């Protein structure tokens, strides 16, 4: 056992001392802070009041209701609330529409310091707008999907109001009927509020899945590469004189896994701090506390425990398989031909997370949670999005432990023979004989 610990210590120290480990460990927390504050900072700088000319050639007085609807659009909050549009109405008829429109477009699309009285956009309502809903907008912000979507929603609301008014519906009733719904979501688990919103649960679940995907691929590949390098440098022949192949395999997988777990702990710890201190961080950068609350959601302790547990088991499964592939190959190129099967399993597990969006407790999510190769990705996502019965969690963990033992046994069989085989790539028949020996 002491020899196994010596291998674990060597593999762990060798990796955490590398410059790549230190840089990647520090870069992700920096990236988290940037993702927490940059969107709010960019949105704060990007919002501004747009000067829009509304050309009403509908002949039905459509311009004024549209202006009324657009004037209710604002941005910012509290004392800093500002109108989203500065509107001017130009009423004309169909005969002079082209002339008015061309004149206004000629003053649109200029930088504010170049032509302060220019227009950001020209909105044209013609005789068919009320009946068909067809209208035209010419502006310097048409490439913004959010801005155009917002403009379309406001105008659609105004058109619906005018149509209902023409049908004899009272205007005050129209205003009440057209009021938008404001849905505030909160997650409930086992009859208790968790304090998380639906958006926070979604962001948390998929961020964890992505980190797990990157970590297993990255550290699994390092395990494979390390075995091949030691095999080609003949270090394996020296180690086999004092260690059994199983001790070497487990020492390498556990050592690399602990290095990955250390990095995960630092990253998750940073996320926890950012999640709990979001409002203070937002205040330090001069953005609203609400933005800080929504940037990085807090992680419940139970979810953290499930995530780290499945990360450990998942890495040991895939790490042992990568080590076995490294042992039976002589070059990185040869190993890639076998590693693609393991990598495809990781990719399928990662992609299956996206199938859980609408129904995390459905047949797909439940089944994938019981398959040891896919459970590290699907179970933490399910745990963060819905209430998972403890019996399912226990069964999933039990099957993962059985799967881990099977993979370690299989990898150990291949490893004990493969590390001393040089030359040609083994065939599938030879691999089967190694396993049966």
Q: Specify the higher pLDDT residue, 45 or 85.
A: 85
What's the predicted TM-score (pTM) here? 0.63
Mean pLDDT of the chain: 78
φ/ψ of residue 213, rounded to 5: -60, -50
Q: What distance in Å separates the CA atoms of residue 39 and residue 32, rounded to the nearest whole number?
A: 12
Model confidence at 397, pLDDT cuts 50, 70, 90, reads very high
8 Å CB contact between 57 and 93: yes
Distance CA 21, CA 91 (A): 66
pLDDT at residue 395 is higher than 70: yes
Q: Which residues have CB under 8 Å from 391's CB, separation 6+?
A: none
For the segment 132-177, what is each residue's pLDDT rounded down to a tens digit? 888 888 888 787 777 788 888 888 877 887 778 777 777 677 667 7
Task: Quick: pLDDT tens for 330-355.
Answer: 787 788 888 888 888 888 888 887 77
Q: How far apart are CA 426 and CA 415, in angstroms?
A: 13
pLDDT of res. 394: 92
Digit-coded pLDDT (tens) for 16-47? 888 877 887 888 777 777 766 666 665 555 56
What CA–CA distance (Å, rounded) separates 200 from 189?
Answer: 14
Percent of the chain with pLDDT strictly greater than 70? 79
Q: What is the pLDDT of residue 396?
A: 92
Reported as half-sphere exposure (CB side, CA atoms, 13 A), residue 181 has a value of 3
Q: What angle do CA 180, 282, 382 make, to 5 degrees?
A: 65
CA atoms in the 13 A half-sphere facing the CB of 356? 30
Question: What confidence tens digit (pLDDT) does each residue in 190-238 have?
Answer: 666 665 555 666 677 777 778 788 888 888 888 888 888 777 776 666 6
CATH code of the domain made up of 47-178: 3.40.190
Quick check: 294 pLDDT over 70? no
Hey, which residues does 90 pair with through a beta bridge? 55
Q: Domain limits of the chain?
A: 3-42+194-436, 47-178
């Amino acid at each position: 056992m002491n020899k196994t610990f010596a291998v674990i210590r060597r593999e762990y120290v060798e990796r955490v001392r590398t410059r790549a480990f230190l840089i990647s460990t520090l870069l992700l927390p920096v990236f988290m802070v940037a993702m927490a504050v940059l969107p709010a900072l960019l949105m704060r700088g990007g919002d501004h009041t747009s000067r829009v000319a509304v050309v009403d050639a509908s002949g039905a007085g459509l311009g004024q209701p549209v202006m009324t609807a657009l004037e209710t659009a604002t941005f910012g909050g509290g004392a800093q609330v500002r109108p989203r549009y500065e509107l001017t109405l130009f009423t004309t008829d169909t005969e002079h529409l082209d002339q008015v429109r061309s004149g206004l477009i000629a003053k649109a699309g200029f930088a504010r310091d170049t032509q302060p009285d220019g227009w950001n956009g020209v909105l044209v309502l013609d005789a068919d707008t009320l009946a068909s809903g067809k209208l035209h907008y010419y502006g310097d912000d048409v490439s913004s999907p959010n801005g155009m979507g917002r403009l379309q929603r406001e105008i659609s609301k105004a058109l619906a109001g005018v149509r209902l008014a023409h049908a004899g519906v009272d205007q005050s009733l129209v205003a009440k009927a057209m009021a938008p719904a404001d849905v505030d979501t909160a997650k409930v688990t086992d009859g208790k509020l968790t304090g998380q919103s639906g958006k926070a649960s979604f962001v948390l679940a998929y961020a964890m899945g992505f980190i797990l995907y990157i970590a297993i691929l990255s550290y699994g590949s390092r395990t494979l590469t390390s075995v091949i390098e030691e095999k080609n440098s003949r270090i394996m022949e020296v180690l086999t004189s004092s260690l059994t192949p199983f001790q070497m395999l487990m020492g390498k997988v556990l050592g690399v896994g602990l290095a990955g777990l250390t990095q995960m702990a630092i990253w998750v710890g940073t996320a926890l701090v950012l999640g709990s201190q979001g409002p203070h961080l937002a205040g330090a950068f001069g953005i609203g506390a609400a933005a800080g609350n929504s940037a990085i959601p807090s992680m419940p302790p139970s979810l953290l425990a499930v995530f780290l547990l499945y990360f450990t088991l998942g890495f040991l499964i895939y790490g042992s398989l990568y080590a076995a592939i490294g042992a039976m190959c002589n070059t990185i190129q040869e190993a890639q031909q076998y590693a693609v099967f393991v990598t495809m399993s990781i990719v399928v597990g990662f992609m299956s997370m996206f199938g859980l969006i609408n129904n995390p407790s459905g047949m797909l999510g439940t089944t994938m949670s019981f398959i040891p190769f896919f459970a590290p990705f699907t179970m933490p996502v399910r745990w963060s999005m819905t209430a998972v019965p403890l019996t399912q969690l226990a069964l999933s963990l039990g099957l993962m432990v059985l799967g881990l033992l099977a993979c370690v046994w299989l990898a150990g069989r291949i490893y004990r023979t493969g590390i001393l085989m040089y030359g040609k790539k083994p065939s599938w028949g030879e691999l089967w004989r190694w396993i049966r020996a």
